[in-house]
Amino acid sequence: MGSWLSSNWARLLPGTGLALILALASYWLATLPGLKVMGALTVALVVGIAWRATAGLSAVALPGTGFTARSLLRTGIVLMGARLDFALVAQAGPKVLFLDILMIVLGIAGIAWIARRFDVDAKLGMLVAIGTSICGASAVVAAASVTKADEETTTLAVALMGILGTLGVLFFVLAGPFLGLSTMQLAVLSGSTLHEVAQVMAAAFTWGEASGAMGTLVKLTRVVLLAPALLVLGLLVGSGNGLRFSWKEPPIPWFVIGFIAVGILGSVGVIPADMKSWLAGTSVFLMVMAMAAMGLNTKLELLKRAGMRVVYAGLSGFGLLTVVSWLIIKTLNIH
């Protein structure tokens, strides 16, 4: 038994070790001004793709990169539940909660529909819709496992979250003064539409500390709503294949159940604050490693094959959310 375990781990070590090194490099790169807005997840994906394109990927590394991109990713998703705080939903207030729920429902349905109009693959369109509507790359990688999307599709969706979110930040910062909103309303707008937490903070804090806090709160409420969204998605995917209830194959994947369970335990105080912080940090690190591994397994020609239609669909979806959010903020006077 011991020799089997040691030989199995030895097979995984080269690829897992390479993903670890690239993850550490990505954390550092993500602190640089030009890359900070993208976040470590997207940076890791780009670094992995760049490594594959320039240095190649040895066959000996394939078992480890596959293990990292799948098993470590799902572990990271479970631990990501520590980031959830369901009390934020109450703190945000009914208007913000209504706005965020509407953005998620409209975003998932509307962007998936727009993606079909641009002839984008259905699973890729769904991942773009979920990532845009909820919390960017984190939502994409969580939903990818639920929908059983392949690594190529997941890679494309994660890359789009970085590209579209960065463009969104630039749009809000430059066009903000001309949108007819107060700085607090601009924060709500950015928090309800931008993809990543880092992108929301990059935009909202340009208008001051108070607006930065508001934008972050609105965004974190969307992050909390990832849990019920995955729950519904898991049930829909399961029902499409004939809903089965068993310990081996529950209608919702075990890692999603674990993600929600950790979130509930953290929200009710069972998990201490310092432990929540450690679990959240560990989850992000594992997911950054997984993104690096996905990048290592990605061939550039696969990205080119997707074409600009995916970008156009993503931009159109982001534009839809921005217009609807602006109308609701003005109508309900959310600030």
Taking only the tens place, the pLDDT of each residue in 68-122 is 887 887 888 788 788 777 776 677 788 888 999 999 999 999 999 999 999 998 8
Structural domain tally of the chain?
A: 1
CA dihedral 236, 239, 244, 246 (to 10 degrees): 0
Contact at 8 Å (CB) between 333 and 99?
Answer: no
By mean pLDDT, which of 123-132, 171-180, 298-307 is the weakest? Answer: 298-307
pLDDT range class, residue 319, cuts 50, 70, 90: very high
Per-residue pLDDT tens for 26-55?
999 988 887 877 778 778 888 988 898 888
In angstroms, rounded to a whole number, what is the distance separating the alpha carbons of residues 162 and 215?
18
Cβ atoms within 10 A of the Cβ of 112, count?
A: 20
How is residue 334 written in tokens? 């959310």
Residue type, 285: F
Which 3 state secondary structure label does DSSP give 32? coil
What pLDDT does 51 receive?
Answer: 92
How is residue 213 written in tokens? 């806090």
Per-residue pLDDT tens for 250-304?
555 677 678 888 888 988 888 898 898 899 889 889 988 987 887 887 766 666 6
pLDDT range class, residue 5, cuts 50, 70, 90: very low
pTM of the predicted structure, to 2 decimals: 0.72
Signed CA dihedral, 99, 240, 118, 307: sign only: positive
Domain that holds residue 99: 2-332
In angstroms, rounded to a whole number, what is the distance separating the alpha carbons of residues 84 and 86?
6
What pLDDT does 87 receive?
Answer: 74
How is residue 98 written in tokens? 């209504």
In angstroms, rounded to a whole number, what is the distance separating the alpha carbons of residues 197 and 185?
17
What pLDDT does 195 receive?
Answer: 87
Q: Percent of the chain scored above 70 by pLDDT?
A: 89
* pLDDT above 50 for 245: no
Contact at 8 Å (CB) between 61 and 14?
Answer: yes
How is residue 268 written in tokens? 């009710």
215: nearest Cα among 194, 190, 247, 248: 190
In angstroms, rounded to a whole number, what is the distance separating the alpha carbons of residues 222 and 196?
10
Signed CA dihedral, 11, 28, 196, 115: sign only: negative
In angstroms, rounded to a whole number, what is the distance separating the alpha carbons of residues 231 and 190?
26
